[in-house]
Amino acid sequence: QAHLDRIGVVDGAVHAFLHVSDHALDVAADIDKRRSAGEQLGELAGVPLAIKDVLVTTDMPSTSGSRMLEGYMSPFDATVVARSRAAGLVPLGKTNMDEFAMGSSTEHSAFGPTRNPWDLERIPGGSGGGSAAAVAAFEAPLALGSDTGGSIRQPAHVTGTVGVKPTYGAVSRYGSIALASSLDQVGPVTRTVLDAGLLQDVIQGHDPYDSTSLTDSWPSMADAARAGLRGEGLAGLKVGVISDLLGSGIQSGVLSRFREALALLEKNGAEIVEVSAPHFEYAVAAYYLILPAEASSNLARFDSVRFGLRVEPDGGGTVEQVMAASREAGFGPEVKRRIILGTYALSAGYYDAYYGSAQKVRTLIQRDFANAFANVDVLASPSAPTTAFKLAEKLDDPMAMYLNDVTTIPANLAGVPGISVPVGLAPEDGLPVGIQFMAPAREDARLYQVGASLE
């Protein structure tokens, strides 16, 4: 009730939610009953959860921020949602996002932007700005997001929250409306690293419904966070600072908070070394070919027959005319831009020059990570180059928007886990700053431990 009240007070201004559940209190009451009846429930039982609208739910609409899916009701729950319900979490509502998770500001939502609770004139990051803003504004204690090129970590950075992109394959993508299948990963957005660990413990693990889901058994991320809170694991830990990500375009206050956090780690026993990842400078370019290519293919399913919006020109038309009219009306400008880019990059004659080259760059970036991790335990960088920018500032400049992802994209291209942890406010504008840590694939626990040690 407290969270519903809080949503009632602030969400008119913040607009973190696209839909608020009308039966959250009934679900909560039911969990209370089960607990009184002596049922053993997990640590998060009864805790409200905000869910990014990219994740399908049977009891609330799932739009992925698009007119194409306005009012769409899924016949099944995403695996992460089903697991959250089974653990007794209480779905509170669906959070706003850039349309089909394309963006870094949540301004590409078809249903209006979300605002940053720290400064309502600024963006909450994207694409998962709704989840991050809900957590930052105390509308929800925990949220789920999805991260294809930074959509969990960058919103966490600009809202002073914790965001984790797990190892690719650690968390099921089943029921996460696909953006780029080789990059998408679901993860937690929370106020503390321990909270994130508790939530990852609920959602991680093999899912036969996702063919890229890993069959590993995972350690408890909450336990790793608790070890970090006790200060364990820092003695002798080698932290690699990626010099290639400190070059141009990092705001001075972002850099100074980053350096302070490193100094703190060093004081507590970690060793800071500089490492080079020479191909990271091509990561944004490669990503913005691979992502549109995969997205153009994934979004082909929105054909006006199987899902969502259907527009019939002059009350009829051929299959092609209905499809064209529906896609014209249902998709926003950024989605259209990427479908066109992706279709072009994949077309015969251009495939090798664009998509093929981007895949080769992806391999080189994976090798940069492998070389770096041969010498260090974790890598560190600022989570994003700047603090929250102003609404509309980059809306008409797609390149400027894309460049904001420079620090987060490499982890997605390599499938390695990344965490953003708040490290204070930038002195020049008083806005939140995050530090990003990355670890080798499957070493998510290391990130929770190092991240929590800063809290």
Q: What letter represents residue 84's amino acid?
A: S
The least distance separating ligand GLN from the CB of residue 102, rounded to whole angstroms, comes to 5
CB-CB contact of 47 with 89 (8 Å): yes
Stretch that binds ligand GLN, among 24-32, 95-103, 322-330, 429-437 (CB under 6 A): 95-103
What lies within 8 Å, CB to CB, of 10 at 6+ separation is 117, 137, 139
Stretch that binds ligand GLN, among 146-154, 196-204, 237-245, 444-452 (CB under 6 A): 146-154
The least distance separating ligand GLN from the CB of residue 207, rounded to whole angstroms, comes to 20
Angle at 385 between CA 105 and CA 411, to 5 degrees: 85
- 127 in catalytic set: yes
Stretch that binds ligand GLN, among 33-41, 71-79, 145-153, 423-431 (CB under 6 A): 145-153
- 151 in catalytic set: yes
Q: What are phi and psi of 26, to 5 degrees?
A: -65, -40
Contacts with ligand GLN in 98-127 (CB under 6 A)? 101-104, 126-127
Cα 326 off chain centre by: 28
Contact code string over 329-368 relative to ligand GLN, x by CB under 6 A: ----------------------------------------
CB-CB contact of 290 with 362 (8 Å): yes
Could you write out the DSSP letters of every residue in 369-402? Answer: HHHHHTT-SEEEEESSSSSPPBTTTTTT-HHHHH
Distance CA 310, CA 449 (A): 49
The least distance separating ligand GLN from the CB of residue 148, rounded to whole angstroms, comes to 4
Contacts with ligand GLN in 163-182 (CB under 6 A)? 179
The least distance separating ligand GLN from the CB of residue 104, rounded to whole angstroms, comes to 4
Contact code string over 278-307 relative to ligand GLN, x by CB under 6 A: -------------x----------------
The residue from 53, 147, 368, 444 that contacts ligand GLN (CB under 6 A) is 147
Q: Is 69 in the site for ligand GLN (CB under 6 A)?
A: no
The least distance separating ligand GLN from the CB of residue 17, rounded to whole angstroms, comes to 19
The least distance separating ligand GLN from the CB of residue 402, rounded to whole angstroms, comes to 7
Q: Which residue is nearest to ligand GLN (CB)?
A: 151
Query: Taking Cα atoms as reference points, which of 204, 208, 229 lies closest to residue 444?
Result: 204
The least distance separating ligand GLN from the CB of residue 81, rounded to whole angstroms, comes to 18
Cα 304 off chain centre by: 28
Stretch that binds ligand GLN, among 35-43, 141-149, 303-311, 428-436 (CB under 6 A): 141-149
**Ramachandran region of residue 291, left (φ > 0), alpha (ψ -120 to 50) or beta?**
alpha
What lies within 8 Å, CB to CB, of 443 at 6+ separation is 167, 417
Task: Give me the catalytic one of 64, 151, 176, 304.
Answer: 151
Buried b / exposed e along 217-233 (16+ C-beta atoms within 10 A): ebeebbebbbbbbeeeb
Asked if omega into 243 is within 30° of 0 (cis), the reply is no
Contact code string over 388-407 relative to ligand GLN, x by CB under 6 A: -----------------x--
Task: Give me the catalytic one of 127, 172, 176, 304.
Answer: 127
Among the residues of 299-416, which ranges form H helices?
A: 319-330, 333-346, 357-373, 398-403, 409-414
The least distance separating ligand GLN from the CB of residue 143, rounded to whole angstroms, comes to 15
Stretch that binds ligand GLN, among 147-155, 223-231, 345-353, 413-421 (CB under 6 A): 147-155
Distance CA 207, CA 169 (A): 9
The residue from 95, 116, 151, 381 that contacts ligand GLN (CB under 6 A) is 151
Nearer to ligand GLN by Cβ, of 102 and 198: the residue is 102
Nearer to ligand GLN by Cβ, of 179 and 435: the residue is 179
Cα 272 off chain centre by: 27
Widest pairwise Cα distance in the chain: 71
The three-class DSSP label of residue 146 is strand
Residues that bind ligand GLN (CB under 6 A): 101-104, 126-127, 147-151, 179, 291, 405
Cite the active site residues: 52, 127, 151
